Amino acid sequence: MKTVKEMSQISGISVRTLHYYDHIGLLKPSFIGENGYRFYDMDAFERLQEILLFRELEFPLKKIKEILSDPSYDKKEALREQIKWLELKKDHLEKVICHAKSLQENGENMMTFRAYDKTDLEAFQKEAKERWGKTEAYQAFEKSSQADFSVITEEMAAIMKDFAALKELSLSDNKVQKQVETLQTYISEKFYPCDLNVLSGLGQMYVADNRFTTFIDKAAGQGTASFVSSAIAEYVQNR
């Protein structure tokens, strides 16, 4: 058995993220002591490995939980598919890196775009989707993917509108800080584990990247993006 701190050190996953995985039922501790400490056994380590591989393939946490819980899920078959998919991604990235170095060192023709060709990767993704399509979880993932985008856009807009309603309050006000926590939880559930470092980066991006600033201010009113960014900075600083 390993403590949550030891689990974090071995896996490279933050304690906060492990707590969040427990909260959403994605990775429950194997045992909780009378003192409330979480402990993890080898089965938990194996499940975490599966989770991280799916994350590398950009599956949302909610979908990973559904797939791993599906009775028809085959661990060995999934691992074979994941390895093949990751190898294709690696090959693609190596081509892009090689192309970038050629541009830097040799002044290769800027109009050459062969390195960005994802034909092989996309062909395998299609094949993998067909394989995952055998599970109820992936069928649900595939059906909801396009619908999710519009829903997520609306939900993010709603979160930003809630921030806008708090703009007259101090950044340290409990209501403002709770809203930052709501945003952090939402991002973790819908996209990727949002630890403090990721959250801090997002806060900076909300004012540094005009696309995000425009979306937030258009959805919730002028100045909201700046307010959210400052609220996030306050939240991170106090933790």
Q: Does 127 share its domain with 156?
A: no
Identify whether residues 149 and 223 lie together within a single domain: yes
d(CA 51, CA 75): 11
Q: Is 36 within the bounds of a domain?
A: yes
Q: What is the pLDDT of residue 117?
A: 52
Q: Are residues 123 and 173 in the same domain?
A: no
Residue 175 phi/psi, 5-degree rounding, is -65, -40
Q: Mark whether 161 and 115 lie in a shared domain.
A: no
The DSSP element (H or E) to which 39 belongs, if any, is: strand 38-40
Per-residue confidence at 69, pLDDT binned at 50, 70, 90?
confident
Weakest-pLDDT range from 84-93, 103-112, 197-206: 103-112
Please say whether the beta carbons of 16 and 195 come within 8 A.
yes
pTM above 0.75, yes or no: no
Residue 127 shares a structural domain with residue 151: no
> Residue 190's closest CA among 92, 61, 89?
61
Question: Do residues 10 and 81 share a domain?
Answer: no
- Cα separation, 88 vs 125, in Å, equals 10
Q: Are residues 165 and 228 in the same domain?
A: yes
Counts for the chain of helices (H) and strands (E), in that order: 11, 3
**Last residue in a domain, options 114, 134, 154:** 134
Is residue 48 in a domain?
Answer: yes
- In terms of C-beta density within 10 A (0-12 exposed, 13-18 middle, 19 or more buried), how is residue 177 classed? buried
| Residue whose token pair is 């709501």 | 182
Same domain, 130 and 153: no
- Say if residue 47's pLDDT is above 60: yes
In-domain check, residue 62:
no
Domain that holds residue 125: 75-134
Considering the domain architecture, whether residues 163 and 126 belong to the same structural domain is answered as no
Pick the last residue of a domain from 113, 134, 155. 134
Mean predicted confidence (pLDDT) in 26-48: 89
Domains identified in the chain, total number:
3
Nearest alpha carbon to residue 119 among 88, 80, 145: 88
Count CB neighbours of 101 within 10 A.
11
Structural domain includes residue 61: no
Do 155 and 183 fall within a single domain? yes
Average pLDDT over residues 188-197: 79
The answer to whether residues 156 and 188 belong to one domain is: yes
pLDDT tier, 230 (very low <50, low <70, confident <90, very high otherwise)? very high
